[in-house]
Copies of this chain bind each other. A is one copy, B any other.
Amino acid sequence: MLVTCDCVVEGKHFLPRHFSAAELGCRTMTLNISDIGAMGGRPLYALVSLGLKSNTPVSYVEELYRGFLSELNPLGASIIGGNLTESGGGIFIDVTLIGEVKQGRIIKRSGARAGDAILVTGSPGQSAAGLELLLHSDPQNSFDRHPLVLAYKKPSHRACEGQAISDSGCATAMIDISDGLLGDLGHICRESRVGAQILRQKIPVSEAMVEAASCLGEKPSEMFMKSSDDYELIITCPQDCIGTIRAAVASASDIPVTQIGNITDKHDGIVLIAPDGEQQRIKPSGWDHFSRQ
């Protein structure tokens, strides 16, 4: 049995002008589903604890629930309870999600071993890039329908892929990258007591990311360095299991799986290697709820 809990707060994790209630419901449930999926599990039961404003319309709450259920229903999961209160400030949505994983098939953050391959699904950072585009939107230059903005507003979880990877029995560690590719790789390294070597040119950068980087005046190869806000998976596994992991993911979806580096010894730390061979030592910070940006 698995249990996870994540809370989103108005003004801190989302701005209401960027999300319809249904989109907000989808996004909030997706990030909890992702946490269960990243352990190789299947979500079963959600509890939804809402903090609402005194003037939140009932129709808004109904739309939120439509959003929650549109993510849960396809997985056969349901909402079994929760709580309702006035928040005293902005809206908050706190979801506890209960799931299950087959005996002996749970994938933790702590199992990576030196020599393992580091794989990632999809293109990390699309959602965070979408948020940056949104923040740079203006009436003359709206990015509302940009694919990265859609990736931010309605991100995909990889729970089915995570279950297939769990079933393969090959992964040594797994995590979603909600704290950013390097932040979450840092979680694996810390909990597995290992280091990591990442080849920058191997990190998949989508065409949309290249275009967005150009709009935003940034290097596409640096956009994945930030907090990600999306729900791709980092998977570590022995080198001879890469094919099995790819096959497992392919059994669930057509999302690409890319090897971006290898696990090393702990004392090597986390190192990002540029195409010219220059090595940059990374101190992953991840997401700090109390940072003043």
Q: Give the interface of A toward B (CB within 8 A).
A: 3-13, 45, 47, 49, 51-52, 54, 80-90, 92, 94, 96, 98, 289-290, 292
A49 contacts which chain B residues (CB < 8 A)?
5, 7, 49, 94, 96
A84 contacts which chain B residues (CB < 8 A)?
289
- In the assembled complex, the CB of A289 is this many whole angstroms from the nearest CB of chain B, namely 5
Contact of A88 among B12, B52, B98 (CB under 8 A): B12
Contact of B96 with A9 in the complex, beta carbons under 8 Å: no
Contact of B90 with A4 in the complex, beta carbons under 8 Å: no
The docked-state distance in angstroms from the alpha carbon of A87 to that of B88 is 10
Contact of A7 with B289 in the complex, beta carbons under 8 Å: no
Q: List 15 A-B contacts (CB under 8 A).
A: A3-B81, A3-B96, A3-B98, A5-B81, A5-B83, A7-B83, A9-B51, A9-B85, A9-B86, A9-B88, A11-B88, A84-B289, A87-B89, A88-B89, A89-B89
Query: Which DSSP category, helix, strand, loop or mixed, fits chain A's interface?
Result: strand
A83 contacts which chain B residues (CB < 8 A)?
5-7, 94
This chain: how many copies in the complex?
2
Contact of B86 with A5 in the complex, beta carbons under 8 Å: no
The docked-state distance in angstroms from the alpha carbon of A110 to that of B80 is 17
The docked-state distance in angstroms from the alpha carbon of A5 to that of B81 is 8
Besides A3-B98, A9-B85, A87-B89, 15 other A-B contacts (C-beta < 8 A): A4-B81, A5-B47, A5-B81, A5-B82, A6-B83, A7-B49, A7-B94, A9-B86, A49-B96, A84-B289, A88-B89, A88-B90, A89-B89, A89-B90, A96-B96
Residue of B nearest to A80 (CB): B3
The docked-state distance in angstroms from the alpha carbon of A252 to that of B127 is 54
A82 contacts which chain B residues (CB < 8 A)?
5
The docked-state distance in angstroms from the alpha carbon of A7 to that of B95 is 12
- In the assembled complex, the CB of A157 is this many whole angstroms from the nearest CB of chain B, namely 17
- In the assembled complex, the CB of A64 is this many whole angstroms from the nearest CB of chain B, namely 16
Contact of B45 with A3 in the complex, beta carbons under 8 Å: yes
Contact of A289 with B85 in the complex, beta carbons under 8 Å: yes
